Structure formats: C-alpha cells, structure tokens
Structure 1
Amino acid sequence: MSPASGILLVDKPGGITSHDVVARTRRAFGTRKIGHAGTLDPMATGLLVLGIEGSTRLLTYLVGLDKTYETTIRLGSATTTDDAEGETVSTAGSDELAVVTDARIAEGVARLTGRISQVPSTFSAIKVDGKRAYDLARAGQDVELKSREVTISRFAVGAIRRSGDAIELDATIDCSSGTYIRALARDLGADLGVGGHLTMLRRTRIGPFDLADAHELDSLADGVPAPLDPAEVAGRVLGRLDVTADEARDLRHGKKLADQAARLGGDLAAAIDPDGVLVGIVERRGDALKSAMNMPEAAA
C-alpha cells in the first residue's frame, strides 16, 4: 500500500546533505516518490519541506516562497566558501577590527537590506555550462557567476561579540527565494573592509511553514508521521477555491470552467472539491478557469 500523499516538514541536522534527508525519508515511508522544495548546505540546519507521493507536484509552487534564517556572521576573515567549512583566504588585523563600530555594522547591514544585487557564492549549486559551480571551483577553475536581484526584507542584528581577532554577530534575516546568506556574510565583511563569512545558519521558516512544526529526522525511525494534507498546504500557500463535484470532474478531465475567472482572487488558487480533496491548481484562461496542475486521483 502506498503511503499517504502530503507535505512533510523536517528539521535537518547539521553535517548531512538535503539529499541524505530525502533518502532517509524515502526509507521511512517506503517510497521513492519524495522530493524537496529547496536544499540546505551540509553545515546548515533547519526547515526542509518534503513532498510525498503525488504531493511532489506541489513542490513547484513552494520553492519560490520567502524564507527566514537565524545566522551567525564572523567578521575578520574571509573563506573560499563564504562559510566556516572553507579555507581562510584573508584575515584582518586588530587595528582594522577596532574601527568596525556597532554604528558601522548597522550602516553596512542597511546597505544590504531591501532590493539588492547579489553575486551568489562560488561554492553554490548554480549550474555553469551544465556543471555545478561548486564542482568547477573544487576543480580549481575560475567561476564567474552573474549577479541576481534579491530582496532582504529584514536584516536584524542581535548580539555582537568582540574578541581580538574577530567580531561575531547574530542576525535574523527574512529574504526572497534564491538569496544566498553566505553571500550576505561575505558582502558585509567586504563592505566593512575586514572580510566575513558564515559560521551558523538555521532556516526557521518557508512561507507559512514554521520550524516549530517540523519533525526531527531521527524521529522518523520510530514511526511514519502523518504528512500535512495537500489541500491544506495548497490552500495556505495559494488560496482556496471551492469547486462543485461537476467542476472538479471537468477540471480533472482538462476542461475549462467557462466564465469563472472572476472567482479567482490571485493568479493561482487551490481547487478543492466537496470532499476536501485537492483537485489541482487552477489559473485564469481569458474569462475561464483551467487547471495548471492536476493532482493524481486516488485509486478507487
């Protein structure tokens, strides 16, 4: 019997890849049909959103959600990977660090808040000519990545700790999908003239999903938790559109709902039938509604 389709929130521990989390979840649920809505680096911890069985189709609509991170940035040295796992490439002296006041840090953070242009970290999963940037960088090749526009809606600095050779600051960051927090640490350090890199990263939110509701990875060995219902998830992310049984049948068969576009508040919505089952994701087509994605129908 196949496991229930749904969305599972998992708290990824440090030291393993996101693929490792998917592999362990596949074993726990006894299925290959599991995917994720955005990776975390091995060093990073926190929220991963997994799709199980037919709900893997929903992941397309979750990958672009905004995110929240808790992080620690170390000012005073730069690394090859922009995090603590890389080799140190530069260090600042105590005199250089001494002039990095709290006010200067605040000014640097302000320049990295809002809509900014960011060059992703060289050691990233972005593809260059069909190959991952981190593979090219590890092979000693020069990697030039294009800048991208991202939005940092909150860059809130908490504690600031100073020692002779470094300044560490804790920060909470709300950002758009595609933001590299490692690059923020690198760019803040470069702006302040002392170098910087990430020493801790924990993702605490993806869209409406919170880390507090996530399952510990080790707990999957004790039993398979019930995933979130796909109708609930899609409704929270895209908004809910209740459809009749006849409309659900037509949508599942690829038919348009004529003269119904006005029922849609946004660009997309989750079409949910009278039994509370997610039919699929609908979009406008002129004055009509049509399925942009249909969920697999349950076996009779």
Structure 2
Amino acid sequence: MGKKSRTKGRSVESAPGEVGPRQPCPCGSGRQYKSCHGSPSGPPPIFSARPFEGFVGETDLIALREFVPAASAPLTLKEDPKREVTLCTLLPGAAPALVRENGAIWLGLQVQHAYGDPSRDLAAVLTAALTAEPGTMVGLTESPGDGPRLQDLVTGELAVTVHEGFDFWLSDVDDEDGSMAAVLEQANGSAAPTVRLDGVEAAYWTALGEREFLRWVRPEDEDQLLDALARLHAAGEDHLVEDGRLIGMFRAHGVLVPVWDLPQGTGAEALVAPVAEFEKKLVATLADARPLETHERSVRSGLASRQLTIR
C-alpha cells in the first residue's frame, strides 16, 4: 500500500509543449498551473497582473499592503469628498473595513482576499462600507467580478503616515474595559521599526531583529529596471552606504521591489541623501537605450535569479 501511494504521488511528466502542473501558469498570475488555468475549477474569475496601475501613489500603496506594518493614509472619494475614509495597513482582527461610530471608514489593506484583483476587492469593500451602519465591520464573501477598482473611486495623492505601532486604532476610542489592550500589545509586538524616507517615493527603511534593510518599490517596467540596475551594479554604483549592498528584489502586484542589506546601526536618516542621489543615477541610467554589454548581461542574470514573486 505504501509503495502504491508513493508512486501515485509522483509528478507526471508533461508531454512536449505542455505546461507541467507545478510550472508557472502561462497567464502570468504567478500561480502554479495546477492552481490556475490547469485547475478543474478554472482560474480565478478576475486576474490583474498590475492591479493598482493608474493609482496615484501606486508604489506606496503596494508597500503598505505588502511589508509596512503600521501606517495609514487618508483617501478622498470622487463622489463624496467630505466622507472620511482612511486607508490602513492592518485593522484589528485583520478586518477588511471598519465603520467607526462617527461614520468614518477605515479600509484595511493587509487582508486575505483571493479573488484575483485586490484593487477590485478593496473597491467592493469600500462600496459596502459606505452604506453600512456605524460601529460595524465590513467584509467580502464573494468575488466582485469586473466591478470598479479602488482607483476608480478615489482621487488625489496618497499622503502616508507611518506609525510606531497600532495605537492609532484607539485614537478615538475609550478602551474602558481594556478589551483592546491585549490585541494592541500583540500587534505592537509584531511591528518591526519602519521609516518612510523623505524625498523619494515608496522607499522604506526597516530593522528586522539585528539586521537593517531598505525596500524600495519601483514603478518602472521590469525589464527596463533590471537593465538599469545591472548597469549600475556592474559599475559599482548601486551601493547606498559603505558595506551596504543590493541583495535582490521581489515582485509584487506587477512591480519590482529592490532590497538593500545595510550595516547594523545605519538608521533611516543616513539613507535620505544617498537614496536621493541614487535615484538620480537610476533615472539617468533608465534613459540609456544601448544594449547591455556582456558583463552587464551576466550581472542582469544574477539579479534576475534573485527575484522572488510574492503576489
């Protein structure tokens, strides 16, 4: 029986030209083929490779959704600009949205929806929250289909405030019975120190244990950005501070997020000037349309091999 089970569990080789069940789905979703277009139930109803494209502040929004622990940003509705709406990285209980007692809406980014287009998911939750009773939580239990995206409902720039912890949850609430204290303590204990750098968009310093990193969400086309980073790396011009190094990047919601490992004790303030200077170099290098030279192509392959897709 054991042998039979082991044999059954082995992967079946694909015929030439076919996509294997554990290979990336050709649709570009980032899922394995067996969990996407190769699934008996088919792919998710809606999939968007770059769901927040066109959103003013797209890169900061992605940072808040993927790796910034505690932050918020006010949103302005196109149809009702006076309605108070705040975008939050995380809400108590990972709630998709909360309608406060005063009618203000808090919209959570770090949720577990899996309907293929997180921007449509957020828009559906926001739309439901607009008519929900004060003091209630709003969730999403079914796919929003091809409904509007968040960028269809809001206007203006994204003014991000990074918080040291989640005390802002109680900014307008009296926790007289202490029911939120334990939740708040646990949430604050998991929030790594994080700072958004001034002068550039979506660059965040963080300390994880004894290590420090810079994670910088970039809006450029992936191939163009890789070419530019390869040129700078090959020329030794991608170092931000002494002993700091570009260690790789991850892909989230259709854009790349380069990551630098930093010496312990660097801090966020020491990065402001070198990051602004590096961005100037990067912009100039992005404009260079020449084909990569042999050693630059080698560097590019090395950088590409250190990519990780998380969304």
When the two structures are superposed, what TM-score results if normalisation uses the length of structure 2? Answer: 0.23
Larger strand proportion of the pair? 1
When the two structures are superposed, what TM-score results if normalisation uses the length of structure 1? Answer: 0.24
